[in-house]
């Protein structure tokens, strides 16, 4: 079998492929047209960030079984096109963990002691000790926003320097935080308490501009801020103003809203802002680790072994897929719905399968729930890494096959056990010839909410006449098209309605909904 190595990887990775008996073609610096020619008879291709594996390239590949990315990001690979052609796409998500954590802490160190500025001064022939007074890390408070693999490694290094570590991560449990030796705090409290702030989250709608003008206004004067995660989490214009005012004493960036950084960027004017050109994974060890790992996963996939680090859905045998497939979308959408509808921090998820589902091996369905739960809060959640991501968050997942009777012949129930002991649940099934995924119960309310629309608003209000009209009028005013709605109520209590929309409503629309008289709670669920 032939493996095309389109971008440079560690020689040890190439050597491993050859030892495994693969014809290994190194074609570094090839043009797109050359790649199309070379990939025609390739069984696998390995890339970094330079070579683009587009739908056109995949159309030329007649034998391709796998694409390996020596790194985390897969923006240069057309995942849907690969999935459609049955090509597994794999990355190496752990290879750069230590490299990025160490770069982050390097930024923290040079933001504490002005090493780079002092070095430049010496090279200019000066001897100016008074200008370069620094501070100490000991007894300072570091706020880590995002306690994934990299955030965890940064925390360990900070504690070794005698720092107090507080963490903002809405999906990390108290038990896991205790194990890591960090204190969970709300985001605003993290901003208020921190002497240092570092971000380690994916760039999503929720995290974009997480550190903006308002965030800086909450911080201490003289705070130090660092980002080696994703450009756009820190609003650069806000950082510029905070540096000008002296609110931020020092900062460090390895990532930017637009890369490469523009030559006329105002970020370049501050000597107390250390800038690096996206060097997170740029160490000999990280590159070697990624090169070896990508060679290993490719070799395993081609030889029929375990598929590791897949970022698209692995294939299953036809008979299993025939039984499971109608429920996979249901389970994934229910996981997404449940995560966004939860009213508190989740410590455990219990998934119950009723009817004929109770007699099947539901491992794939449980993973689908996990993947859906993670879809809006983490990057690259897939069938293989979702269980480990849930474990890292400290969330226990249990699946139960039951023969107990239910209202439907096949039913999936997702119970969220919150840290305060409250259990919140949703239940769903598939309906009709098209096997439409539908939520049929939310808590004790019987509903019929389709999960195929882009957004759902779940709203509780006092059971008074006219509320449906008021809500519909408000949504219409904000150009929110209602695709469907369902309503349930209890005698003398709160009514629950679910409005299915063609798109996610604006923040203004949601604020108006929450401000309506008789409205008790509003949850927006993005199902896109």
Is residue 478 part of the annotated active site? The answer reads: no
As a whole number, mean pLDDT of residues 491-520 equals: 90
Q: Quote the Cα angle for 468-454-449, to 5°.
A: 50
As a whole number, mean pLDDT of residues 251-271 equals: 95
Q: How many residues does the chain have?
A: 528
pLDDT at residue 384 above 70? no
pLDDT at residue 316 above 80? no
* pLDDT value, residue 336: 96
* pLDDT value, residue 380: 73
State what percent of residues in the chain have pLDDT above 90: 76
| Residue 432 Rama label (left phi>0; alpha psi -120 to 50; beta) | left
pLDDT at residue 200 above 60? yes
pLDDT at residue 405 above 90? no
Name the token pair of 65.
């079984």
Give the confidence band of 321 by pLDDT, cuts at 50, 70, 90: low
3-class DSSP assignment, residue 436: strand
pLDDT at residue 314 above 80? no
As a whole number, mean pLDDT of residues 290-303 equals: 93
Give the confidence band of 388 by pLDDT, cuts at 50, 70, 90: confident
More confident residue, 316 or 28: 28
Exposure string over 159-175, b if 16+ CB within 10 A, otherwise e: eebebbbbbbbebbbee
pLDDT at residue 310 above 90? no
pLDDT at residue 359 above 90? no
pLDDT digits (tens, 9 = 90+) for 409-434: 899 999 999 999 999 999 999 998 88
Give the confidence band of 8 by pLDDT, cuts at 50, 70, 90: very high
* pLDDT value, residue 36: 96
Mean residue pLDDT of the chain comes to 92
pLDDT at residue 337 above 70? yes
Indicate which residue of 230, 257, 293, 500 is catalytic. Answer: 230
* pLDDT value, residue 317: 52
State what percent of residues in the chain have pLDDT above 70: 98
pLDDT at residue 403 above 90? no
> Among 377, 379, 369, 376, which Cα is nearest to 311's?
379
**Torsion 485-528-187-150 (CA) sign:** positive
More confident residue, 202 or 335: 335
Indicate which residue of 15, 26, 113, 278 is catalytic. Answer: 278
More confident residue, 380 or 41: 41
* pLDDT value, residue 123: 96
Q: Rg of the Cα trace of the chain? A: 26
126 contacts 176 by C-beta, under 8 angstroms:
no
210 contacts 236 by C-beta, under 8 angstroms:
no
pLDDT digits (tens, 9 = 90+) for 30-59: 999 999 999 999 999 999 888 999 999 999
Distances in Å between the alpha carbon of 348 and those of 345, 411, 417, 426? 10, 20, 5, 14
Is residue 230 part of the annotated active site? The answer reads: yes
Cα(46)–Cα(35) distance, integer angstroms? 11
Domains defined for the chain, CATH in brackets: 2-93+285-302 (3.40.50.720), 97-275 (3.40.50.720), 316-443 (3.30.1330.90), 453-528 (3.30.70.260)
pLDDT at residue 74 above 90? no
Indicate which residue of 33, 37, 259, 419 is catalytic. Answer: 259
* pLDDT value, residue 106: 97
pLDDT digits (tens, 9 = 90+) for 428-451: 999 988 889 999 999 999 999 999
As a whole number, mean pLDDT of residues 190-210 equals: 93
Q: What is the pTM of this model?
A: 0.77
pLDDT digits (tens, 9 = 90+) for 81-129: 887 787 899 998 888 899 999 999 999 999 999 999 999 999 999 999 9
Is residue 241 part of the annotated active site? The answer reads: no
């Amino acid at each position: 079998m032939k493996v095309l190595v389109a971008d440079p990887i560690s020689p040890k990775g190439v050597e491993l492929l050859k030892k495994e008996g693969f014809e290994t073609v190194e074609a570094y610096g090839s043009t797109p047209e050359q790649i199309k020619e070379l990939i025609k008879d390739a069984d696998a291709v390995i890339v970094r960030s330079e070579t683009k594996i587009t739908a056109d390239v995949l159309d030329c590949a007649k034998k391709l079984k796998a694409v390996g990315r020596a790194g985390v990001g897969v923006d240069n690979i057309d995942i849907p096109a690969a999935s459609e052609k049955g090509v597994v796409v794999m990355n190496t998500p752990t290879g750069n963990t230590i490299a990025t954590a160490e770069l982050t802490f390097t930024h923290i160190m040079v933001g504490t002691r002005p090493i780079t500025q002092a070095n430049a001064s010496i090279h200019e022939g000066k001897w100016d000790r008074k200008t370069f007074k620094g501070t100490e890390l000991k007894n300072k408070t570091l706020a880590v926003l995002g306690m994934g693999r990299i955030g965890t490694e940064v925390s360990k290094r900070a504690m070794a320097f005698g720092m107090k570590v507080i963490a903002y991560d809405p999906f990390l449990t108290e038990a896991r935080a205790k194990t890591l030796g960090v204190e969970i705090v709300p985001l605003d409290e993290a901003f208020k308490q921190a002497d240092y702030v570092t971000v380690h989250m994916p760039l999503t709608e929720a995290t974009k501009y997480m550190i903006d003008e308002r965030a800086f206004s909450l911080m201490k004067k003289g705070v130090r801020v660092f980002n080696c995660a994703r450009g756009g989490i820190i609003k650069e214009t806000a950082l510029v103003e905070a540096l000008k005012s002296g609110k931020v004493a020092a900062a460090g960036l390895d990532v930017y809203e637009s890369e490469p950084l523009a030559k006329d960027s105002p970020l370049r004017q501050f000597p107390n802002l250390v800038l690096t050109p996206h060097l997170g994974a740029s160490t000999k060890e990280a590159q070697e680790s990624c090169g070896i790992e990508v060679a290993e996963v490719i070799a395993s996939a081609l030889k029929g072994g375990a598929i590791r680090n897949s970022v698209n859905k692995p294939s299953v045998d036809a008979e299993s897929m025939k039984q499971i497939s109608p429920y996979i979308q249901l389970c994934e959408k229910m996981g997404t719905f449940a995560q966004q509808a939860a009213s508190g921090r989740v410590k455990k998820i219990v998934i119950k399968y009723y009817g004929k589902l109770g007699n099947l091996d539901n491992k794939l369905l449980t993973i689908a729930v996990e993947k859906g739960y993670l879809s809006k809060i983490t990057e690259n959640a897939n069938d293989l890494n979702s269980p480990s991501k849930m474990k890292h968050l400290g969330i226990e997942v249990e699946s139960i096959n039951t023969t107990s009777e239910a209202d439907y012949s096949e039913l999936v129930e997702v119970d969220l056990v919150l840290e305060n002991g409250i259990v919140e649940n949703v239940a769903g099934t598939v309906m009709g010839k098209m096997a439409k995924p539908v939520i049929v119960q939310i808590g004790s309310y019987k509903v019929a909410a389709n999960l195929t629309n882009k957004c759902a608003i779940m709203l509780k209000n006092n059971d008074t006449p006219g509320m449906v009209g008021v809500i519909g009028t408000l949504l219409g005013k904000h150009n929110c098209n209602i695709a469907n709605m369902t309503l349930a109520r209890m005698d003398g209590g709160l009514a629950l309605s679910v409005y299915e929309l063609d798109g996610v409503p604006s923040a203004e629309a949601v604020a108006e909904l929450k401000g309506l008289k008789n409205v008790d709670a509003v949850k927006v669920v993005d199902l896109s």
